[in-house]
Chains A and B, each alone.
Chain A
Amino acid sequence: MRLRRTRNPHSSGRIALLLAFTLVLGLALALARPAAGPESVWTGVGRIVAIGDLHGGYSQFVHLLQATELVNGDNTWIGGNAHLVQMGDVMDRGDRAKDIFDLIRRLEKEAEAAGGRVHMLIGNHEELNLIHRSLQYADFVSQKQFFDFLPQNIRIAEEARNGGRLNWDQWKDIIDNEEFVAKAYYDGFRDTYGYWIAEHNVVIQINDTVFVHGGLTESYAAMGVQAVNDLYRSEIGPGLRGKDISRPRIVFQADGPLWNRRLADTDESAEHHASIDRILGSLKAARIVVAHTPNNFHGREDEMKRYGGKIWVIDTGIGLGGRVWAIVIENGDVKVQKGGGAP
């Protein structure tokens, strides 16, 4: 005998209600969550290598990667599950930012496949290029960097229009006077590397160490690293896509994580020490590694370690004729690694 299934109208109504409730709840949770970005915190990492501002110093970067045994002679990742932190400021002043970006982009994938990670933080010089500001500063953008990101058709058209090959001073005149050329450079940069860079973090924590290009105030530290990254991406991403960010809360802010230099001070006041302790307490971290500020570094290893090792300042002028040094953190022990034969 075939049983006839009868549908209970009350039961199906309850299911529909449950489904609707689940859908609404899911939607509400999805809307409440911040925009999904990359992770910001890692634990259980055995070996961390951190490299400061590069400013186009590609060969110095490679020397450091090889000296720390993160890559082999072919610049292929051999670092296994180690984490590399590049502290930002790949760009400006020097020539080979594009080559560095290409290498980092490849190493990100190779490291992840091997169980390691490559973290490229956003520095203030990346920001200046993302927000269309770098060309205004005298001598920030080198000739090579400019042509690496300026679309080739614009270069050809401008040279044809101005009677042939132009020297860099002539190009600088054009940049100052023809807005569309500067815009073409920024757009070219944005389309090839900018969107990718803007997806990166400004601050990360690995084990008990926080890494940030410039520094963190107490209020940013209280937000936590993920919230700082989410706030940054909520401004820079829409800004890249042409939205108005004329009143930013974090982008291009003097006390923001890309520009703040306070942690790199040599201020031995009790007030400053207490502030550093509060920042570390908020972050539940033992130390903060910053770059960005080479001012109090005169080439001595001990100048990188400040406030009893709570702060490490690792902008050693790598790409600008300074020391080609990195730091390596293993089991909570921080050591300076020298990059050998780099200029």
Chain B
Amino acid sequence: MNILSFALIVGVLGAGGGGGRGPDAQAAAAGGGMGSAEQLQVEAFLRDAKIASVEKNVMTGRGAAWRVTLRDATGSRRGFFKYINARRPQIAPMSFKYEIAAYALSKLVGTPIIPPVIERDVEGKKGSLQIFLEGCVTDIERRRTGKPVAGEPQSLADAFDELTLFESLTACERDPNDVLIHPETGRVCRVDFAEAFDPALPLSPAAAAAGRCSRRLYAGLRDLDPAAAEAALAPYLNAAEIKGLLARRSLILEKVKALIEAKGEAAVLFDLAVPAAGRGAAAGRTS
């Protein structure tokens, strides 16, 4: 098992918990909100690996993403490349920049639930290149097939509760096709934020009804420096989108604080379960 394969499962497919902020959140904090060592390593691979092949007609969705195979001395990995860039105020906005913004935000708030994504040129087009998570099923597939997931039901419920608030933060409605679950580790990831960050959206109904929050997300939101967030996100979001995001952050914080006051911290904040790190790690490699 090489370190990148390990990173794909342990560092990237979600962080472990434990008391206080999880290890990834701590790593993120140590790196000034710039991501864990594993995330940075995958980002470097996405940025520097040679493009071995590009498949253009495999994805039939509106984003028409390309599947890209990348190769370096450690082996091959697959990624998804999105290049549509129709930012607000265009009709029906969709942009690869929102993908990168969501990932940057997930690092800023210490919730590594988005697979690493970077900006890169592929065949002359600028876009976002995101690592493909091998061995995962979508939440739709999981429900359809009844495939068991490690740590069910509590770890899955915890991960979904965290996801609900993060999705609301980014103004990106849940699509179960975009929730990826690794059955052997129980890790939960979320992809496809290409239509996120609607500046006018308040808390989602799901977030408004939420009764819990992961400790790491609460800490990340509480400690988020608006100026730092603005600086990190300005290449990808316009001023109104950033303002909307910060407004939703305040609403989530107010909500979680009110819940803690009403029910007590132990009933509201939770740590995500430690994943079954070793199992399924090799799934990160494709060759």
Contact = CB atoms under 8 A, between A and B. Distances in A.
21 contacts: A124-B62, A131-B90, A131-B91, A132-B91, A133-B84, A133-B86, A133-B91, A136-B85, A136-B86, A138-B83, A246-B88, A246-B89, A246-B91, A246-B92, A247-B198, A248-B91, A252-B62, A252-B91, A254-B62, A271-B144, A293-B60
B19 interface: no
B205 interface: no
Interface in A239-266: 239, 244-248, 251-254, 259, 261
Interface in B186-243: 198, 200
Given A133-B84, A137-B84, A254-B175, A246 B90 contact: yes
Given A133-B84, A248-B92, A269 B144 contact: yes
B93 interface: yes
Contacts of B50: none
B279 interface: no
B263 interface: no
Contacts of B144: 269, 271
B93 A246 contact: yes
Residue from A132, A246, A248, A252 having most chain B Cβ neighbours under 10 A: A246
Contact of B60 (A136, A239, A261): A261
B196 to A, nearest CB: 12
Nearest to A172: B124
A252 B91 CA distance: 9
Given A137-B84, A138-B125, A245 B60 contact: no
Interface string A312-341: 000000000000000000000000000000
Contacts of A124: 62
Counting from the closest, the 3 A-B pairs by CB-CB distance are: A252-B92, A131-B91, A239-B91
Interface in B33-66: 56, 60-62, 64
A245 B92 contact: yes
B159 interface: no
B198 A252 contact: no
B94 interface: yes
Contacts of A259: 61-62
Nearest to A247: B198
Interface string B148-179: 00000000000000000000000000010000
Contacts of A133: 84, 86, 91-92
Contact of A254 (B56, B61, B85, B86): B61
Given A246-B93, A254-B62, A293-B60, 10 more contacts: A132-B90, A138-B56, A246-B89, A246-B90, A246-B92, A252-B91, A252-B92, A254-B61, A269-B144, A271-B144
A129 B88 CA distance: 18
A251 B92 CA distance: 7
A131 B123 CA distance: 25
Interface of A: 124, 131-133, 136-138, 239, 244-248, 251-254, 259, 261, 269, 271, 293, 295
Nearest to A251: B92
Nearest to B84: A136
A153 to B, nearest CB: 25
Contacts of B60: 261, 293, 295
Contacts of B64: 137-138
A226 B198 CA distance: 29
B53 to A, nearest CB: 15
Interface of B: 56, 60-62, 64, 83-86, 88-94, 123, 125, 144, 175, 198, 200
Nearest to A292: B60
Contacts of A295: 60
Contacts of A253: 92
A252 B86 CA distance: 12
Residue from B60, B62, B94, B144 having most chain A Cβ neighbours under 10 A: B62
B251 to A, nearest CB: 19
Contacts of A137: 64, 84
A254 B61 CA distance: 8
Contacts of A293: 60
Given A136-B84, A138-B56, A246 B62 contact: no
Contacts of A248: 91-92
Residue from B61, B84, B90, B200 having most chain A Cβ neighbours under 10 A: B90
A271 B64 CA distance: 28
Contacts of A246: 88-93, 198
Nearest to B123: A138
Contact of A252 (B94, B123, B200): B94
Contacts of B198: 246-247
A247 to B, nearest CB: 6
Nearest to A136: B84
Nearest to B125: A138
A254 B174 CA distance: 13
Contacts of B61: 254, 259
A250 to B, nearest CB: 10
Residue from B56, B92, B125 having most chain A Cβ neighbours under 10 A: B92
Residue from B88, B91, B93 having most chain A Cβ neighbours under 10 A: B91
A189 B209 CA distance: 46
Contacts of B89: 244, 246
